């Protein structure tokens, strides 16, 4: 199953690869070069299909749990001052996605969307300390009955050139449901209350919609 954000790109890539394979078959006489070109084209198609895959995930709904919003590796766990919305201290948990990870963004918790804003910006590498504040990004705040307001931020990386955000103010967020997509390398930051118990460690790999990254008793 592929994400809807990739349908046009997948179709274009399939046509491009098919034409390339046919042309190479008729116009490249050197056998090894012909096979190399065809193999390279097929690899491109496989990479595009892998990037836009959208595996079904069965999320166990629990208001006391914060689940991973994306697949990737935990690269930040620290207390920070959140400047945009809360203007106070929060625990930041950041997950970095490589180009081979699933790039679907899912709601980490259920509730009402209180804030949703797009920010144009730079394209620093996604693990850069200032990428959360200076890169192209979207900021969304979900009001949950257990945690109160929790902010998550989709951050573009050096390769990412489009962030898709489905969250609209006033909508209901369903834990584990699709909330957006980031194309070609990125990260997602979560800003949690200080009394939240963090259940992951740095460099830990997590699965979006499945793994519990934080909780409250």
- Nearest to 53, CA basis, from 165, 213, 212, 208: 208
Q: Find, among 127, 91, 97, the residue nearest to 214 by Cα.
A: 91
DSSP the chain: -B-GGGHHHHHHHHHHHHHHHHHHHHH---HHHHHHHHHHHHHHHHHHHHHTB---------TTEEE-SSSEEEEEEEEEEETTTT-EEEEEEEEEE-TTS--EEE-SS-EEEEEEEEE--B---TTSTTHHHHBSEEEEEEEETTTEEEEEEEEE-SS---EEE---TTPEE-TTSEEEEE-SSEEEEEEE-TTPEE---TT-EE-TTT-EEEE--
Question: Catalytic residue positions?
Answer: 186
């Amino acid at each position: 199953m592929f994400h809807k954000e990739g349908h046009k790109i997948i179709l274009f890539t399939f046509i491009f690869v098919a034409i390339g394979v046919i042309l190479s078959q008729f116009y490249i006489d050197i056998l090894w070069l012909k096979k190399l070109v065809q193999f390279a084209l097929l690899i491109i198609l496989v990479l595009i299909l892998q990037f836009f895959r959208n595996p079904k995930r069965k999320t166990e709904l629990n208001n006391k749990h914060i689940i991973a919003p994306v697949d990737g590796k935990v690269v930040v766990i620290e207390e920070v001052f959140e400047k945009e919305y809360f203007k106070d201290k929060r625990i930041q948990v950041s997950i970095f996605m490589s180009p081979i990870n699933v790039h679907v963004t899912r709601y980490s918790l259920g509730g009402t969307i209180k804030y949703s804003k797009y920010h144009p910006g730079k394209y620093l590498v996604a693990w850069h300390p200032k990428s959360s504040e200076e890169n192209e990004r979207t900021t969304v705040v979900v009001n949950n009955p257990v945690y109160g307001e929790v902010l998550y931020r989709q951050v573009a990386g050096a390769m990412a050139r489009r962030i898709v955000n489905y969250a609209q103010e006033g909508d209901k967020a369903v834990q584990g449901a699709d909330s957006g997509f980031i194309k070609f390398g990125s990260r997602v930051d979560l800003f949690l209350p200080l009394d939240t118990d963090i259940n992951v460690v740095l460099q830990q790999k997590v699965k979006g919609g499945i793994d519990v990254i934080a909780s409250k008793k």
